[in-house]
């Protein structure tokens, strides 16, 4: 079946970690910026996953630096489901496959660098750039699924959390840019059967000022089956970002997050000349 197009060159098909969403010819799109919403959700998930790993690293560093008498309580508070282990020069968490190397330095020490890796690959470098401020670079596959390729260079600054809750350390102000490449027809469960290098989308984002990512309960456990710690998620709640989607052509999206509410984040999405408000 022939796929509908966003334009002459852009497929309206965005792969997400939990499902593949395809709008086929004849299907209806309820709102003018529905495609922009799907793309934005993928960008938010991509950034949120990196923020999650940085947040885990910061908490691990503070746990290492804590007095011995406080370690048990902090481990229960910050890592209740992922008990810490130190093996072969790497910190690991039970039941997940990512590891952290510290270089023997606290992540609160200026210019210290930590590595977040998976298997033999180094996925993320985190560098302390100041008080409660870190630079994060990502190159390669961010997740354990190699078909979802990510590159990023972002700055995270810890802020007092908007929401109260057990285990929350910071919200984060994010600035910087990144991109990821995803297979438009990818099957999550059987990637080896669907892979087609000609059927991919490149999605780029740029945050010129800052976007506040708020930590909040993740009731759906988005990545619970993906070897990834997601009992909480980070949601973009304030600020603006620009998104670019490339296939055979280019489309742009502007996202403006207004506020976090009990009903979700209020945001404006501008796409193909249309500007609509979304709350979720």
Question: pLDDT below 50 — which residues of the chain?
Answer: 1-23, 144-147, 184-195, 220-231
The pLDDT of residue 101: 95
Q: pTM score > 0.85 for this model?
A: no
* String of DSSP letters for 37-79: HHHHHHHHHHHHHHHHHHHHHHHHHHHHHS-HHHHHHHHHHH-
Q: Where are the domains of the chain?
A: 13-279
What H or E segment, with its residue span, contains residue 221? Answer: none
The pLDDT of residue 96: 77
The pLDDT of residue 104: 95
Round to whole Å and give the CA distance between 198 and 47. 25
Q: What is the pLDDT of residues 264-274, one digit of tens each?
A: 899 999 999 99
The pLDDT of residue 118: 79
Q: How far is residue 161 CA from its own chain's centroid?
A: 18
């Amino acid at each position: 079946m022939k796929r509908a197009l966003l334009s002459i060159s852009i497929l309206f098909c965005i792969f997400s970690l939990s499902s593949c969403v395809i709008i086929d010819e004849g299907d209806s799109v309820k709102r003018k910026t529905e495609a922009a919403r799907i793309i934005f959700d993928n960008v938010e998930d991509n950034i949120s996953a990196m923020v999650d790993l940085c947040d885990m690293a910061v908490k691990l560093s503070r746990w290492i630096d804590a007095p011995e008498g406080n370690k048990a309580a902090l481990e229960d508070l910050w890592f209740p489901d992922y008990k810490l282990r130190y093996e072969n020069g790497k910190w690991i968490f039970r039941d997940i496959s990512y590891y952290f190397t510290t270089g023997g330095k606290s992540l609160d020490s200026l210019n210290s660098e930590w590595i977040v890796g998976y298997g033999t690959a180094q996925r993320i470098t985190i560098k302390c750039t100041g008080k409660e401020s870190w630079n994060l670079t990502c190159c390669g596959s961010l997740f354990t699924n190699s078909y979802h390729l990510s590159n990023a260079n972002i700055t995270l600054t810890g802020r007092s959390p908007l929401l109260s809750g057990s285990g929350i350390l910071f919200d984060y102000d994010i600035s910087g840019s990144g991109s990821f490449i995803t297979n438009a027809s990818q099957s999550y469960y059987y990637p080896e059967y669907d892979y087609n290098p000609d059927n991919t989308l490149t999605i780029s984002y740029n945050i010129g000022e800052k976007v506040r990512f708020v930590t909040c309960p993740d009731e759906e456990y988005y990545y619970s089956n993906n070897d990834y710690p997601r009992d909480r998620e980070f949601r973009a709640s304030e600020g603006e970002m620009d998104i670019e989607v490339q296939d055979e052509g280019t489309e742009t999206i502007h996202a403006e997050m207004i506020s976090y509410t009990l009903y979700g984040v209020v945001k404006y999405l501008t796409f193909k000349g249309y500007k609509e408000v979304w709350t979720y």
